[in-house]
Amino acid sequence: MRIAVTTPNGNVGRHVVAMLIRAGVRPLVLARHPDRLPPSVRAEADVAAVDLYDADGVVAATRGVDALYWVDPTTDSEDPLGDYARATTAVVRAVTENQLRRTVFQSSVGAERRHGAGEIDGLAATEVALDATGTTVAHLRCGFFFTNLLLQLDAIRGGRIPIILPVDQPMAWVAPRDIAEVAVTRLLSPAWSGRVVQAVHGPTELTWAQAAEIVSAATGQPCTADRNSDETMRENLRASGMTAGLTDAVIGMSSGLRDDFVPEQPRTIRTTTPTTLAAWAYNVLRTQL
């Protein structure tokens, strides 16, 4: 079985690559910067240097591939949704022209809204485009990544994490490693076909207030969640150097999911994964503070 993996250095992708190697598969990794891959991975994987926005390059790199793990690459441009559209063109061409048997797409909770969720709208558009191919595809609707807290290290050290959601609004929190496990089992299993949507909700819903308490206890660094207005958060993001277009897309992800949003898929054994925020914060976040 030939399995291609995009974003092999990403929070999820690096775990996907390692799990496939442990399963006895020699994955094909699609990397814009192959030199950034760990030597241990380069020894156990085939590497294709490719920009995921380059449709011709992606098609060429995935010839002969049976299954594909696809992540729309992150962007810091003024037009993030335009970048998502370019990536979508690349994956759709690869899937159709190379007749891939299975595609696992890393999407997000909120993509079911299709419109009105900022940057998540780009993922929703990829879902729609992949569905239109009529091929076998699984959309993983992932919750809020634990690793997003690594972007807030200074705020955590300062004792206040800025957010724009209500501090008491519960949402799904998930470990990237658990997302990888779901992705790999889908990539390796031939026992499904057609269009599948699978939420990856983590072990439990948490409010930001609860998450801050867990982080405080696990790391020994007291912190609280500090709700900001949309405008204050927008000013802070712009001051950090983020483009205006990306700022609006990032703000939209939270503002689009805070008013009576309920995920399309409920919490079940299929959508629940095991790693707790407390375990991750103790093992990972604590070491960074």
Least Cα distance to 230 among 258, 209, 208, 195 occurs for 258
Mean pLDDT of all residues in 21-40: 96
- Long-range pairs for 227-235 at CB < 8 Å and ≥24 separation? 227/163, 227/164, 227/165, 227/166, 227/167, 228/162, 228/163, 228/164, 229/164, 230/164, 230/255, 232/162, 233/162, 233/164
Mean pLDDT of all residues in 60-78: 95
Of 18-32, 172-186, 242-256, minimum mean pLDDT range:
242-256
**Is residue 273's pLDDT more than 80?**
yes
Assess contact for 119 and 257: CB atoms under 8 A. Answer: no
**Is residue 104's pLDDT more than 80?**
yes
Q: How confident is the model at residue 259 (pLDDT cuts 50, 70, 90)?
A: confident
**Is residue 156's pLDDT more than 90?**
yes
Q: Output the average pLDDT for the chain.
A: 96
Mean pLDDT of all residues in 273-288: 97
Q: What distances in angstroms separate CA 119 from CA 42, 77, 215, 274, one per listed residue?
A: 32, 12, 26, 27
What is the C-alpha to C-alpha distance for residues 279 and 235, in angstroms, rounded to an integer? 33
**Is residue 283's pLDDT more than 90?**
yes
Task: Give the pLDDT confidence of 193-234 residue by residue, as tens digits.
Answer: 999 999 999 999 999 999 999 999 999 999 999 999 999 999
